[in-house]
A = this chain, B = another copy of it.
Amino acid sequence: MYSVEVRDRIMIAHSLPDPFFGPAQGKHGASFVVDVAFFRETLNAQNVVVDIGAALDVLAGTLKELAYRDLDTLPQFQGKLTTTEFLCRHIFDACCAAARAGALGADGANLARIRVTLHEHDLARASFEGPVA
């Protein structure tokens, strides 16, 4: 299995209003370093998984709605706990949708899996990996 993995980053504010989260119930924030890996069984005619420039563009496009935002104020997250794990899945779904919509070119249709990793800081990170439905 081949993969190509690209990196970008966002800075967001949010709160996690459930007693489960202790001091993180209040408004705080995070810089997330975001890695997205695209997996494929075989390479295309140019010997790549996907065009790396297109992969970076897809990732940047996916993050645009989140960058420099207070997630508590965004309609799509009302009533949701925007944990790191949840955001991994949210970005995974957006990358899958972009692949299906052709944003990665014809190669997007041949992807087997995508893995999204969000690094909170040096000591903690979360990920979601699944098939490109």
Contacts and interface: CB of A to CB of B under 8 A. Distances in A.
Interface of A: 1-9, 11-14, 16, 18, 20-24, 26-33, 43, 46-49, 51-53, 56, 67-70, 73, 80-86, 88-89, 120-130
Chain multiplicity (copies): 6
Contacts of A20: 46, 48, 51
Contacts of A120: 11, 31
* A interface majority secondary structure: mixed
Given A46-B20, A53-B22, A124-B52, A28 B11 contact: yes
Contact of A4 (B3, B46, B69, B84): B84
A7 B68 CA distance: 19
